[in-house]
Amino acid sequence: MAKYKVGYFVGSLSSNSINRLLAKALARLAPPELELIEIPIKDLPLYSPDYDADFPAVALEFKKAIAAMDGVLFVTPEYNRSIPGGLKNAIDWASRPWGQNSFTGIPSAVIGTSPGSIGTAVAQQSLRGVLCFCNSPLMNTVEAYIQFKPGLITEDGKVTDEGTEKFLINYMSELHAFIVRVLTVLPRSK
């Protein structure tokens, strides 16, 4: 059984993030072939092209962490009908300097939760556009817009609603199948 490393990014910097709870649930519900590993974004300084000639150590480690993955998963809230600034900053670091884009060829997927009834649909659409530009093969189905309600996910990542749990298990199975398909057609050398 082949094992695939999936790096995940939590788009919220909040210590009480409901998207962090969702990420825990996804790690718990993933098929055994997927190993989910968080790639933290909170310590990255604000990106500027002034750094391109001499990346700080934290940004080099960030890019190295992405390069070690077989796929990436973005678990993000929606801020002002788009992706959070911290997440966009992380993507900017990973895709620079020009010609050294860490996302090229790495299969990716997007998911998020919000108290609103459309979940994070608009943020996800915005993020999909960015990932397309970053040349990251993107899982387009299953789309997942999770409406969060208090108690939906416990602190240890257990999903309390059977329908939501079943949906998330399927989502992670689809992610596994997508990563296998992409890496079969476009094998990566690490």
pLDDT, position 54 = 95
How far does Cα 50 stand from its chain's mean position?
27
CATH of residue 74's domain is 3.40.50.360
- Please answer whether residues 76 and 152 qualify as being in contact, where contact means their C-beta atoms are separated by less than 8 angstroms: no
Tokens 């992409």: give the residue: 182
Structural tokens at position 86: 């911290």
Going by C-alpha positions, the residue among 29, 13, 11, 140 that lies closest to residue 78 is 11
Tokens 């962090």 belong to residue:
20
Residue appearing with tokens 């649930």: 25
Quote the number of domains for the chain.
1
What's the pLDDT tens digit per position in 12-52?
999 999 999 999 999 999 999 999 999 999 999 999 999 99
Q: CA neighbours within 13 Å on the CB side: how many for 190?
A: 13
In a domain, 24, yes or no: yes
| pLDDT for 20 | 97
Confirm whether 83 is domain-assigned.
Answer: yes
Could you tell me if residue 77 is inside a domain? yes
pLDDT in tens, 62-71: 999 999 999 9
Q: What is the pLDDT of residue 188?
A: 85
Closest CA to 8 of 67, 64, 103, 75: 75
Exposed/middle/buried for residue 93 (C-beta within 10 Å: 0-12, 13-18, 19+): buried
List alpha helices for the chain, DSSP H: 18-29, 57-67, 85-94, 121-133, 162-185
How far apart CA 177 and CA 117 sit, in angstroms, is 28
Contact 153, 24 (CB under 8 A): yes
pLDDT at residue 190 is higher than 90: no
Which tens digits make up the pLDDT trace of 87-145?
999 999 999 999 999 999 999 999 999 999 888 999 999 999 999 999 999 999 899 99
Residue 190 within a domain: no
63 in a domain, yes or no? yes
C-alpha atoms less than 13 angstroms from C-alpha of 140 in its C-beta half-sphere: 3
Domain range spanning residue 20?
4-185
On the question of pLDDT at 189 being above 80, the answer is no
Sign of CA dihedral 11, 13, 95, 103: negative
Residue at 109 is within a domain: yes
Domain assignment present for residue 158? The answer is: yes
pLDDT value of position 119 = 87
